[in-house]
Amino acid sequence: MAAVPAISRSTATSPLPTSPLPTGTRATGPLAAGATVAAPAPAGAGTAERAKDGWTLRKRLRQTRGVRLRGALRGAVPLALAGLLANVANMGVTLIIARAMSTRSYGAVAQLIAIFFVVSMPGSALLVGVVRRITTWQHNGRLHLLAEWVDRVRRVGVATVLVVAVLAIIGRGYVARELSLPGPGGVAEIITAGAAWCLLCVDRGLLQCARQYRALATNLLVDAVVKTVFTIGLVLVGLDESGAAIGVLLGVLAALAHVRWTLHRNPAAMGRDRAAAAPTAGTDSPAPPDAAPARLAVEVGAALVALALLGLLQNVDMLLQGRLAPDRSGSYAAVSVPSKVIVLAAVVLAGFLLPEAADRRHLGQHALHQLGATIAILLVPAAGLLSAALIAPDKLLSLAFGPRFTDASGALLPLAAAMTCLGATVLFTHYLLALGERGVLLALALTAAAAVPLLLWADGSPTATARVDLACQATLAVVTGLSVLAAARRTARA
């Protein structure tokens, strides 16, 4: 999450030029570029001629759907491959440090990583805001505003990261005590890494809007390589959970440096080539007004809440299980790590889905083909993990982590299924956020509110914890999936 061919704006991952179908109850959507719709048969035409016209139209519609699906796969596969490589690297790190650390220290690392995901998840909300604003400017002819806006956001972001770092240093002891960690080591580093990740998401949003999927895939790999090298090295020299947290921080900083360098080399992605051509009074017709700042703030705030809730749902089981049963946190972490790779893969795929859905919304189209492609890709690793968890969970955990970490093997299958459902929910949520739909917040909030007391009721039992998590995540996936279908119907009618 090596280099792959870039997907340019003119490829099938960008909105297809359309030729609208006739209006009426039989209209089903746009055709592919170059397609034409047969003229209605004359009133006196025979049955055979009308049937031929209908068959031609249906054939063209099938061809259009095939083109869209292939285009979606071409856009999503580069990110999926990068995400796969990054997750393989993460798994390699996990296997190495698990054998080098005690079960207690490894459980502490898992809790620190959970903190990172909770703190960093709001970064995805910033990414949603960046994509929605830039997509609107692209369609309204206001990209000349982009460079100044990005510079302002970056200044505020850097100041925020510095403030968070200071507060994390001050409060690391309190956090360590509340989570029953062995000590405060690594807490400040992991919280700072989460804040820096939010800043990284802003720049990644610029790459997504520019359809720079090759550069985005490379950026994922930079993060993974730096994190892998430093985490393994620092843990092996005896820094344990502190070394793992420092490795995560260095990976984020390296990715941030790489994306800034990439954007500097590509002025078009920053809109700097448009600033000189900004419309002036009396020379161009005024561009349509931009969205009101208050409305944009509401949308970004909704995304912030939604993605923070997703982060909580992804990691609340690990946090509560570690607090309720610290002696079993290492075994549960061994089950949790491979299961939650599915969610990480979904987050990577959302990097493709988000700009595609936002772009098509402005064209009055749905992006169900792109959503279907990302779900199909996500199901490949999910099916492999579920099969292994069903057939030989003990053997899988023993080979990967050693026999010390097999006590919670009964939790592997339900937790893998739960994270597969959550991965689908991540994609559904990003789709809805790209459309500006805020109803998903209620479903996420109710699920989180129900999950916490149910997980506390599980009392730290790994298998009971995983089963409760599965029930909550499966229900949420069904609800958000139905919300996506309803939103797609509304988009098509608009």
Q: What is the pLDDT of residues 274-309, one digit of tens each?
A: 544 445 444 444 444 444 456 667 777 888 888 889
pLDDT of residue 93: 86
Q: What is the mean pLDDT of residues 6-21?
A: 35
pLDDT of residue 197: 92
In this structure, is residue 64 part of a structural domain? no
Q: What is the mean pLDDT of residues 385-405?
A: 86
Cα–Cα distances (Å) from 464 to 22, 434, 472, in that order, read 56, 35, 13
In this structure, of 45-59, 111-125, 367-381, the range with the lowest mean pLDDT score is 45-59
| Residue 261 neighbours by CB under 8 Å, 6+ apart | none
Whether pLDDT at 106 is above 60: yes
The C-alpha atoms of residue 340 and residue 8 are separated, in whole angstroms, by 31
Residue 349 contacts residue 427 (beta carbons within 8 Å): yes
Phi, psi of 184, deg, nearest 5: -80, -5
pLDDT of residue 123: 81
Q: Give residue 221's domain range.
A: 71-276+291-493
In this structure, is residue 181 part of a structural domain? yes
- Which carries the bigger pLDDT value, residue 334 or residue 25? 334
Spatial CA neighbour of 428 closest among 469, 348, 371: 371
The C-alpha atoms of residue 181 and residue 362 are separated, in whole angstroms, by 48
pLDDT of residue 172: 92
Phi, psi of 486, deg, nearest 5: -65, -40
Of the pLDDT bands very low, low, confident and very high (cuts 50, 70, 90), residue 426 is very high
In this structure, of 136-150, 152-166, 385-399, 401-415, the range with the lowest mean pLDDT score is 136-150
In this structure, of 154-158, 256-260, 329-333, 476-480, the range with the lowest mean pLDDT score is 329-333
pLDDT of residue 165: 95
In this structure, is residue 20 part of a structural domain? no
pLDDT of residue 147: 81
The C-alpha angle with vertex 225 and arms to 165 and 267, in degrees rounded to 5, equals: 75
In this structure, is residue 76 part of a structural domain? yes
For residue 101, the one-letter residue type is M
How many alpha carbons fall within 13 Å on the CB side of residue 480? Answer: 31
The C-alpha atoms of residue 234 and residue 354 are separated, in whole angstroms, by 36
pLDDT of residue 67: 52
Residue 184 contacts residue 172 (beta carbons within 8 Å): yes
- Which carries the bigger pLDDT value, residue 363 or residue 57? 363
> Quick one: what percent of the chain has pLDDT higher than 70?
78
In this structure, is residue 373 part of a structural domain? yes
Cα–Cα distances (Å) from 476 to 125, 232, 318, 424, in that order, read 20, 36, 19, 10
pTM over 0.85, yes/no: no
The C-alpha atoms of residue 165 and residue 50 are separated, in whole angstroms, by 70
- pLDDT tens digits, 178-224: 888 888 989 999 999 999 999 999 899 888 888 788 888 899 999 99
In this structure, is residue 249 part of a structural domain? yes
In this structure, is residue 86 part of a structural domain? yes
Domain count, the chain: 1
How far from chain centre, in Å, is Cα 279?
A: 35
In this structure, is residue 141 part of a structural domain? yes
- Which carries the bigger pLDDT value, residue 328 or residue 368? 368
pLDDT of residue 180: 82
